[in-house]
Every structure is written in C-alpha cells, then in structure tokens.
Amino acid sequence: MELPFENVKYLGEDTSISCPVCHCNIFYLEKGLPEIACPTCQVHGTVSFTGSKYKVAWNEDDIKNPRFSTARQHHHGEWIRNHFKEETPQIAMQETQTKMKQYQAWGIIYNQLTPKNNIISNKEVPRTWQQTRDMPKT
Ligand SMILES: [Zn+2]
C-alpha cells in the first residue's frame, strides 16, 4: 500500500489499446474518431493505426487524475453545488413546478400499470394523457 502509484505494475493481460488506469478495452467516442475515452475512468486518448496495430496516445493529465481520483471527485462535487445554486430559483418557478407535477403523475401511472392492478383513476392521469387515452382507435 505504500508503493507509489507510478511504480504499480499491472499483472493482468493488456492490449496495445487498454486503458492505462483500469485496463479495459471498451471505449466511447465523445467527439468522434480518433478521440476515444474510457467510460469508467474518463481517461481520454487519440487512437491511431499504423501497419497492422492500433495505438493510443493517452492524456497524461487524465491518467494522473482519472474519474474517481480525489481531485476529480472534488471537481464533481463543486459542479453539483454550482448547479444546485443556479437551478434552485429555476426549480421554484411555477412553470417548472407544474412540469414536475406532470412528471411525477407519470410515475404514479406507471406504478399503477402492473398486471394485478391495471386500472388507472382519472384523478391522477394528466390531462394530456387523458386526451390520448380517450382518442378513438383507428
Ligand atoms: Zn479506464
């Protein structure tokens, strides 16, 4: 446990394109090729194909601070706090409250649509859904 992270050697199977942090070889295209990123660690890289081999130039800063590092966790917490401050007034708006009630009503409807309880009360169905349900079938 006292071994510095840089000196830790991965003992599993590795490929030329494995993530340098978690060693998986599944990536997502955030912006499109040749840019790739590990969906777990959010380490970014640029993939190239030379001869018959793939190679990835990994972002060294991402390797030092992958998604679950203390620095990135702190950044994520700051992001959530900032959005909470910005969005609180928006959430308090009447228009937003109305939409939230509609979405919550959909949850009530979904919970009522079980095989043993397939009856929905009109009181809890949003108006737009009542209209859809009451439309004649073609
Ligand atoms: Zn990874």
| Cα-to-centroid distance, 66 and ligand 1 (Å) | 8
CA 77 to ligand 1 centroid distance, Å: 21
With a cut of 80, say whether residue 127 has pLDDT above it.
no
pLDDT interval class at 116 (50, 70, 90): low
Q: From residue 125, give the alpha-carbon distance in Å to each of 98, 104, 117, 133.
A: 14, 10, 15, 10
**From residue 42, how far is each of 2, 24, 37, 46, 72 by CA, in Å?**
25, 12, 6, 13, 10
pLDDT of residue 84: 87
Q: Structure pTM?
A: 0.58
Please report which confidence band the pLDDT of residue 138 belongs to, taking 50, 70 and 90 as the band edges: very low
The CA 59 to ligand 1 mean position distance, Å, reads 12
Helix/strand/coil (H, E, C) string of 53-108?
Answer: EEEEEECHHHHHCCCCCHHHHHHHHHHHHHHHHHHHHHHHCHHHHHHHHHHHHHHH
Decide which of 134 and 104 is more confident: 104
Residue 136 has pLDDT above 50, yes or no: no
Q: Using the mean position of ligand 1's atoms as its centre, give its distance from the Cα of residue 23 in Å.
A: 6
Query: pLDDT per residue over 6-58, tens digit each?
Result: 788 889 888 888 999 999 999 999 899 999 999 999 999 999 999 989 999 99
Distance 130 CA to ligand 1 centre (A): 47
Cα(84) to ligand 1 centroid in Å equals 29
> How far is ligand 1, taken at its centre, from the CA of residue 27, in Å?
8
pLDDT tens digits for range 56-104: 999 999 999 999 999 999 999 999 999 888 888 998 999 999 999 988 8
